[in-house]
Amino acid sequence: MSVRQSLLAILDQGPCYGYQLRSEFDRRTGSTWPLNVGQIYNTLDRLERDGLVGKGDVDEQGHVYWEITDAGRDEVRSWLASPVERGLATRDELAIKLAVAATLPGVEVAEVIQTQRRASLAQLQALHRAKYAGANPDGPEELAWSLVVDSMIFAAEAEVRWLDHTEQRLALHPQRAMALELSTERPKRGRPAAASVSPLVEPVEASK
């Protein structure tokens, strides 16, 4: 998630000071990704360094209002018009954990999967409860928040389906056949070769 572009997009609506920016960000995301004030000001400093925002008026309480520049507006338009690129490599903690567990001698991977499934289902139930707890489902803030929660629900549902799929695949292979002993071959220096997922996906050219 890009805090940088999100804050720029808010500033494109008008000047804001730091705490106000955090409040506006929370209003639009339902506090599902809370930011501290330090993050806000660090991001603003970098945006100012890059010529995307500048300091404006100071009110009676000493609040410094930040204003977007023309270059910042161009950045917002480019961000909104561009897709979010997903990298080919994955560092998903759960996927890595199960991949490693499946190759460790003596580990009951089915128990690892069952433990994770219980946690994932509990999270999914909590998300559904949170989604329907809103008092004004038609309000703009509630709608914006529900969009984020919907995304989290879909991700949790996909995780449960993937766990089911993984359990079915591993059931076809005896545990002993999956175990990997430590290799006696001395690894070469340097970065490992690219993962074998590359033939499955066409490389995505980064947007300029």
Q: Please count the helices (runs of H) and the strands (runs of E) in the chain.
A: 8, 2
The pLDDT mean for the chain works out to 83
What's the whole-model pTM score? 0.67
Q: Is the pLDDT of residue 197 over 60?
A: no
* Residue 25, SS3 per DSSP: helix
User: Can you give the pLDDT at residue 194?
Assistant: 55
Q: Check the CA dihedral 22-5-49-69 and report its sign.
A: negative
Q: Is the pLDDT of residue 198 over 60?
A: no
Residue 163 has pLDDT above 90, yes or no: yes
* Residue 204: predicted pLDDT: 44
pLDDT tens by residue, 68-94: 999 999 999 999 888 877 666 556 788
> 96-100: which pairs have CB atoms within 8 A and are 24 or more residues apart?
98/166
Q: Pick from 141, 142, 118, 140: which is nearest to 130 by CA?
A: 142
Residue 91: the pLDDT is 67
What percent of the chain has a predicted confidence (pLDDT) above 90?
A: 45
Q: Give the CATH number of domain 3-81.
A: 1.10.10.10
Reported as a pLDDT band with limits 50, 70 and 90, residue 177 is low
Asked if 69 and 50 count as a contact pair (C-beta separation under 8 A), the reply is no
pLDDT score of 62: 94
For 110-147, what is each residue's pLDDT tens digit?
999 999 999 999 999 998 888 776 556 667 887 888 88
User: What residue segments make up the domains of the chain, in order of their start?
Assistant: 3-81, 93-178
Strand-pair partners of 54? 67
Percentage of residues of the chain with pLDDT beyond 70:
82
CA distance 171 to 174: 7
pLDDT of amino acid 207: 43
pLDDT of 90 reads 57
In three-state secondary structure terms, 81 is: helix
Residue 105: pLDDT over 80: no
Q: Residue 153 pLDDT more than 90? A: yes
